Amino acid sequence: MKCPVCKDVTLLMSEKKGIEIDYCPECRGIWLDRGELEKLIEKENEVIRHDYNERDYEDTKTTKKHTKRKKESLFGEIFDMFGD
């Protein structure tokens, strides 16, 4: 499939967490097939729910204030994958 923006550049395909993502190596545009955006949003929501549940569990175990490294979002991973 050709890039809708560049017209003469063939899109490359990558898979991230079970979702196929077409991207243009020239303009770095990301193209999703029907239903893939919904899959991405659902996976992102699963990560957010997991983070909240994990934090609630940690809060009940200790009263000490602790810092946890923020988990990378799925959208961040996807855009980082195609960045410079």
Listed by start position, the domains of the chain span: 12-66+73-81
* Arithmetic mean of pLDDT over the chain: 76
Say yes or no to pLDDT of 21 above 80: yes
| pLDDT given at position 10 | 96
| pLDDT given at position 41 | 86
Say yes or no to pLDDT of 79 above 80: no
* Rounded-to-integer distance, Cα 76 and Cα 69, Å: 15
Contact, 15 vs 21, CB < 8 A? yes
**Over the stretch 46-75, which tens digit does the pLDDT of each residue have?**
877 766 665 555 555 555 554 555 556 666
Amino acid at 35: G
58: left (phi over 0), alpha (psi -120 to 50) or beta: alpha
Answer yes or no: pTM beyond 0.75: no
CA angle 10, 14, 20 (to 5 degrees): 100
